[in-house]
Structure 1
Amino acid sequence: MPTPPDRHYAVTHEWIRTEDDLIVVGITDTAQDRLGDLVFVGDVKVGTRLAAGDPAGVVESVKTASDIHAPVTGDVIAFNDALSDNPGLLNESPYDTWIFKMRAENPDERSGWLDAAGYEERAGIR
């Protein structure tokens, strides 16, 4: 699956898209592929203040569990409740399925964000 060029990426395999004044976060196709069939997505606490890089939640598969990280400092304002009942949405359509949304303290905080080509190179998928 091609890596969409309309967003940024973290070395920890999250995709990051800005939507007005919000930061929308999901996981990449590479992440869901390496994890395998997802059985749980959660532990995201709406209302929590996080620093960039802090664990924001978890994705669990039949193989392993992995943290999802905050790409910026700010407040978690939404969790995609559809994932509670159907975590496999991330396997089926990782770039169309968001996990959580944040309101950034500093919207220009983009430390370490990669473009699609940079992410593919770092993830070894080129």
Structure 2
Amino acid sequence: MSKTYFTQDHEWLRVEGGVATVGITDYAQEQLGDLVFVELPEAGKSLAKGDTAVVVESVKAASDVYAPVEGEVTEVNSELESDPSLVNSAPQGDGWLWKMKLADESQLEGLLDEKAYKETIA
């Protein structure tokens, strides 16, 4: 069974079996506006917690998406290369950004659950 966590920086991660699928929240994509480009990390890249993992560009601005935990990128959503708008239409579904094997699951303890995240954006 998977569990979803959120960060103060508006990322979400869904963890299942030591692997996290990461993306930006619906709130984040609304603030950015229509995405026109997504620069994804390479599979095999090691990320420390807080590293810039992805750059998303919208008609308004470019923004960094940070690694919410430490781990190794195992897969990227290559669909976004041809259709970055998936992040706008389904930010917590088909618009996921990358998957990573967690280096230390205890890092999840500092993240927010959905209720706490919604309180931060209210």
Amino acid at match of 2:87: L
Q: Provide, for residues 62-101 of structure 1, a one-character-per-residue CA deviation record: whole Å limited to 9, x for no partner.
A: 0011111111111111110000000000111111121001
Tell me the secondary structure at the aligned position of residue 75 of structure 2. Answer: strand
Question: 1:119 maps to what in 2?
Answer: 117
Q: Provide, for residues 42-71 of structure 1, a one-character-per-residue CA deviation record: whole Å limited to 9, x for no partner.
A: 141221111111111111100011111111
Unaligned runs of 5+ residues in structure 2 are: none
* Superposition CA RMSD, Å: 1.2
Rounded to whole Å, the distance in 2 between the matches of 1:43 and 1:93 is 17
Unaligned runs of 5+ residues in structure 1 are: 1-5
Question: 1:106 maps to what in 2?
Answer: 104
- Asked if structure 2 preserves the Cα contact closer than 8 Å seen for 1:17 and 1:24, the reply is yes
Percent identity between the aligned chains? Answer: 45
Tell me the secondary structure at the aligned position of residue 84 of structure 1. Answer: helix
TM-score normalized by the length of structure 2: 0.91
Would you tell me which structure has more helix in proportion to its own residues?
A: 2
Bigger mean CA deviation after superposition, 14-23 or 82-91: 14-23
TM-score normalized by the length of structure 1: 0.88
